[in-house]
Amino acid sequence: MKILLTGGSGFIGSNFVRYVLRDRDDIEVVNLDALTYSGNPENLADVENDPRYTFVHGNILDIELCRKLIGECDAVIHMAAESHVDRSIIDARPFVESNVLGTQTLLDAMRKVDPDNAKTFVHVSTDEVFGDLPLDRPELKFSEATPYAPSSPYSASKAGSDMIARAYHHTFGMKVMVTNCSNNFGPYQFPEKVIPLFVTNLIEGKKVPLYGDGRNVRDWLHVEDHNEAVLAVLEKGEPGESYCIGGNNERSNLELTHAILGAMGKDESWIEPVKDRLGHDRRYAIDATKLKTQLGWEPTRSAWPAALESTVKWYVDHAEWWKRVKSGAYRGYYEQQYVNR
């Protein structure tokens, strides 16, 4: 099987490429990536000469290029997206362009080259499309039946892209499936997201900026668990269905921060409480029963402390990677200060 992967040079995509090349010798991957600020060819430097891997520099908004590449592949996994909430608060436009228009362009390209709907399309999305959950109702979780109620410009743009993907299944009979994952963590994550930001700040001797009261909860999913689930959906999922992917690993930001400080031998004085994110979602949590009962998938790599500690160690061991990334386009925390000024 030959897969066209969009956004394969980003955090989740590059881990997907490495995972498939390592574990599945029956799969080839073509990576279409625009290499915007977070897509980084260095993320795949170790596999760039693998005969089962091809890199194409280009944009999902380029319909001719998408048609050509989809025509040469058996399936599409669509990961390319703008994904950082704080950036979407500063400027929502790239989010609507890449996430909504980009997804529609890709689906239209597929429709043209695959009129008999022989190919499969997995649209990779987020649990943030469901909005947020209250902190005092731990029994509540998101599932495939939860209504969409996105609350940030980022999640609204992903919700729009999910709706387009579902509509193309309903209207044209395309074999489209949607996945909604919780917060990913692991190697090669852009250091604007909380885990790599906090770990790399501490290595640099800087404090960690904890938003608000630190009680917000996220369900942490190891990126390789996520990618295994995405592949299971591609190979065994039902067209028109959506699948929630979670790590069974809910933690408050305070708990997360203490775990990182502990893994790095630092005390609480390294926490810098800062103003809260605008419209900060309180809690995300996934009920992944459908994936378990229908496709036989459950997370096996997400449990803490082991998975968090190995991730912290990866950033400690790969300082040359994140130092180059941070010295370039990285502006996340400072932009946040700008928003809250």
If one asks whether residue 157 binds ligand TYD (CB under 6 A), the answer comes out as no
Compute the distance between CA of residue 122 and CA of residue 228 in angstroms, rounded to an integer. 13
CB of 146 to ligand TYD, least distance (A): 17
At residue 34, what is the residue type? A
What stretch of H or E contains 42?
none
Nearer to ligand TYD, 105 or 155 (CB): 155
Q: Is 308 left (phi over 0), alpha (psi -120 to 50) or beta?
A: alpha
Site string for ligand TYD, 26-45 (x = CB under 6 A): --------------------
Nearer to ligand TYD, 69 or 210 (CB): 210
Nearer to ligand TYD, 27 or 274 (CB): 274
Other C-beta atoms within 10 Å of 265: how many?
Answer: 7
Instruction: List, edge to edge, every strand of the sheet that includes 2-6.
Output: 53-57, 28-33, 2-6, 75-78, 120-126, 175-181, 242-245
If one asks whether residue 169 binds ligand TYD (CB under 6 A), the answer comes out as no
Work out the burial of residue 307: count CB atoms within 10 Å of its CB; fewer than 13 is exposed, 13-18 middle, 19 or more buried.
buried
CB of 56 to ligand TYD, least distance (A): 28
Enumerate the active-site residues. 127-128, 154
CB of 168 to ligand TYD, least distance (A): 26
Site string for ligand TYD, 57-86 (x = CB under 6 A): ----------------------------x-
> Scanning residues 190 to 229, which ones bind ligand TYD (CB under 6 A)?
193-194, 197, 209-211, 216, 218
Q: How, if at all, do strands 217-219 and 250-252 pair? A: antiparallel
CB of 123 to ligand TYD, least distance (A): 18
Compute the distance between CA of residue 92 and CA of residue 128 in angstroms, rounded to an integer. 16
**Interacting residues toward ligand TYD by CB under 6 A:** 85, 183, 193-194, 197, 209-211, 216, 218, 253, 277, 332-333
